Structure 1
Amino acid sequence: MAYKVVIPQDITGAGKDYLREKGYEVVVGSGKTDLGTLKAEVADADALLVRTAPYPAEVIDAAPRLKAIGRHGVGVDNIDVAHCTKKGIWVTFAPESNANSVAEHAMGLIFALAHNIVYMDGQTRAGNWEIRNKVKGSDLAGKVLGIVGVGRIGSLLGEKAAFGVKMKVIGYDPFIPPDKYPEYVAPVDSIEEVFKTSDYISLHLPSNEQTKGLVNLSLLSLMKRSACLVNCARGEVLAEEDLYKVLAEGAIKGAALDVFCQEPCPYDNPLFTLKNIIVSPHNAALTQESMNRMGLHAAMGIHSALSGEKPQWAVNMVE
């Protein structure tokens, strides 16, 4: 009998086609993310291909045949990985699937902040042609981009900024030795130096106990009044109330967020009342090409696990 792979939240065709070609039974769920629905839908799954819904121990325990979870994307903070490891369940992710897409989105937000693109769009539609003589943008060439987290996405952003726009790129990452940084990213000694020095700061950190609320008023207060902050990482790493304070007071020029502390983000988030912030609905990674890669790479991880092999992109180690 074929293994059953359940996909609670639907994905593009690439991953589903791969699994079916390998002989698996593929079942797509309702897309609902409440725990009761998830427990019912995963009950007879041999593997799960998951997106953003929560997978705590009680959902994992509701699937007694479960052998593997393939994460559609990079972050696994929605999965109880420790519980999976204890139960001998592989968890895989797709680290090479969306890095360029997120880096492009971050670069686009930096362009939009520098050239006031969103603000000018609104003013032009309102008939304010004279705004062109009152509000000026800023060139990016020669400006300093500070990257916090010089992993796959941070490195790709640095490459685009350094070679495509001629920005000076500095970076801080406590987990990467300075001699391992890309040649186009100059390492600095502290996160404080990034915030003091940079004209644009882009966050590329995972969400964990060490990073939650890391970027707070103490760091934001170090920024130049002309500087801007971009977050395409995880909402939890940034204290939104502190960001609101510095934006509302004009202590920094602007910000752009693709991620929020609460998602979906409530429509009455105070940040939405400000004109010096650009927002997007955590869609940096959701290009068509990236969605195809995320589904395919998650499916490949599941196939390796169910075939008795160690997955290429394993998050945990199963005996």
Structure 2
Amino acid sequence: MTTNVARISFFERWLDPIAEQMLGDQPSIELTRLSYADPEPDNWDNLKRAHGYQASTRGDMHAPWFADADLIGRCTNLLAIFSSGAGFDVIDVPACTKAGIAVCNQAGSNFEAVAEHTLGFVLALSKRIAVTDKGLRRSAPVDRYGHIGRDIQGKTIGLIGLGFVGTRVAELSRGLFGMTVLAYDPYLDATEVTRRGAQKVTFQELLDRSDFVSVHCPRNDETFGMIDATVLGAMKRSAYLISTARGGIVREDDLEAALARDLIAGAALDVFLKEPPPSDHPLLAFDNFIATPHIAGMTDEALREMAASAARQWIALFDGRVPKHLVNPEVWPRFSERFAKEFGMLPAALQTR
């Protein structure tokens, strides 16, 4: 028996009301808002009937509603799970693929916001804005000559990952400050790295040459914990570390040790393994460390575009089209069979290069 209505469930709210407006205009889509405060059996009953699940961001998500293997095993009608932003670490992608569930993220929807935040960190660190602001708020006078900053013009920035955000950081760094831009991205060849505005280098060369090391890669098995004591020890003592990527890529205990030993000049993190970080987090004790609570991608414009991106992809998916940011394209044959069984039509074929 087929159905004509696609049921999408989400918790609490979208990042911007535009998504509910867009999806509410679709007569073939039924949108259901759930609440973390509601009884679990009620939420499970709803999710078990749903065809789509819009996952919250990690900071907003409550257990047991992470899109993990348990949820996937219990909600056998699910055809797709979407993340709210570019990251999709709240979704067990292999489990989804095995179950025939399409996973989509909102890649590129907030790259401008994150890139600008990264440049904000570059400015704040090099001009010693954060440390002198902290000093002025204390009773002791600030020694201007003890806080002399550095110009950014002509310095070298090394980007770990050259996707949407990294490419925009490269463009801004070159255009605004005439910086040399290095990039380490093992998934791009030298021609593509050049096209995106950087010089392809080895990881070691990036660490050797960079005045700023900025992390823009996804968190996965390859990158989890990659910025460790060895990496920090290989950076120039005058260099700064920045991450607006995902918590866990930087080993926070190793960064603490590096700052304590003055192995690097300072650091700035928008992301932590535990979010938000506790007020007594050891890194927060360092004046040459800047922290923001995973807000790099959270501007009015970015939140609206992330919500609109998700809505456009949900509409495309249930219209039988391939969504723009399909994370697991290998699922498409199995997904198509399940979709056809539920809605009585085969979705479009996946185009391969």
TM range (shorter): over 0.9
SS in 2 for 1:264: coil
Establish whether residue 44 from structure 1 lines up as the match of residue 49 from structure 2.
yes
Tell me the secondary structure at the aligned position of residue 43 of structure 1.
Answer: helix
Residue 185 (structure 1) aligned with residue 198 (structure 2): yes
Task: Provide closer, same or farther for how the CA distance between residues 131 and 40 of structure 1 changes in structure 2, counting only shifts above 3 A.
Answer: farther
Equivalent residues in 2 for 1:254-293 (5 A)? 254-293=266-305
Deviation at 1:258, TM superposition (A): 0.6
| Cα separation, partners in 2 of 1:143 and 1:8, compared to 1, 3 Å | same
Structure 2 equivalent of residue 248 of structure 1? 260
CA contact (8 A) 1:204 1:231 kept: yes
Q: Which residue of 2 aligns with 1:58?
A: 70
Q: How does 1:294-305 map to 2 (within 5 A)?
A: 294-305=306-317
Change (3 A) 1:299 1:195: same
CA shift at 1:308, angstroms? 2.0
Query: How has the CA–CA distance of structure 1 residues 259 and 35 changed in structure 2, closer, same or farther, with 3 Å as cutoff?
Result: farther
2-structure distance, mates of 1:218, 1:38: 46
Deviation at 1:40, TM superposition (A): 5.3
User: Conserved in 1, the CA contact under 8 Å of 2:247 and 2:274?
Assistant: yes
**CA positional deviation for 1:128:** 5.7
Report how far residue 34 of structure 1 moved: 12
Which runs of structure 1 show a deviation greater than 6 angstroms over 4 or more consecutive aligned residues?
Answer: 32-38
Question: Is the CA contact (8 Å cut-off) linking 2:228 and 2:255 kept in structure 1?
Answer: yes
- 1:27 CA displacement: 1.9
Residue type matched to 2:11 in 1?
P
Deviates more, 1:244-253 or 1:79-88: 79-88
* Aligned equivalent of 2:110, options 76, 89, 98: 98
Relative to structure 1, is the Cα distance of residues 229 and 35 closer, same or farther in structure 2, using a 3 angstrom cutoff? farther
Q: Which amino acid aligns with 1:185?
A: A
Question: Please, which of 2, 6, 26 is the counterpart of residue 9 of structure 2?
Answer: 6
Q: How many residues align?
A: 318
Contact 2:126 2:150 in 1 (8 A): yes
Question: In structure 1, how many angstroms separate the alpha carbons of the residues matched to 2:272 and 2:45?
Answer: 29
CA contact (8 A) 2:130 2:288 kept: no
Question: Is 1:224 the equivalent of 2:236?
Answer: yes
In the alignment, structure 1 segments of 5+ residues that lack a partner are none
2:34 alignment partner in structure 1:
29
- Does the C-alpha gap of structure 1 residues 257 and 9 become closer, same or farther in structure 2, counting only changes over 3 Å? farther
Three-state SS of the structure 2 residue aligned to 1:75 is coil
Match of residue 179 from structure 2: 167
Give the distance between the partners of 2:117 and 2:41, measured in 1 at CA: 35
TM-score by length of 2: 0.84
- Give the corresponding residue for 2:127: 115
Structure 1 residue 137: deviation in Å?
1.1
In structure 2, C-alpha distance between the alignment counterparts of 1:268 and 1:147, rounded to whole Å: 30
Residues of 2 paired with 1:238 and 1:141: CA distance?
A: 27
Amino acid at match of 1:134: G
CA contact (8 A) 1:7 1:48 kept: yes
Larger Rg computed on CA atoms: 2
Structure 1 residues 62-141: aligned runs within 5 Å:
62-126=74-138, 130-141=142-153
Normalising by the residue count of structure 1, what TM-score does the alignment of the two structures yield? 0.93
Find the residue that maps to 1:19 and give its secondary structure. Answer: helix
Deviation at 1:216, TM superposition (A): 0.9
Does the 8 A contact of 1:10 with 1:31 survive in 2? no
In structure 1, how many angstroms separate the alpha carbons of the residues matched to 2:119 and 2:40? 36
Give the fraction of aligned pairs with identical amino acids, expressed as a percent: 32
In structure 2, the gaps of 5 or more residues are 334-353
Cα shift at 1:217: 0.9
Structure 2 residue identity aligned to 1:26: L
For the aligned residue pairs, the C-alpha RMSD in angstroms reads: 2.2
Equivalent position of 2:321 in the other structure: 309
Asked if the contact 2:55/2:90 (under 8 Å) is kept, the reply is no
Give me the whole-angstrom Cα distance separating, in 1, the residues matched to 2:78 and 2:213. Answer: 42
**Residue pair 2:184, 2:203 contacting (<8 A) in 1 also:** yes
Change (3 A) 1:267 1:41: farther
Partner Cα separation in structure 2 for residue 131 and residue 37 of structure 1 = 61
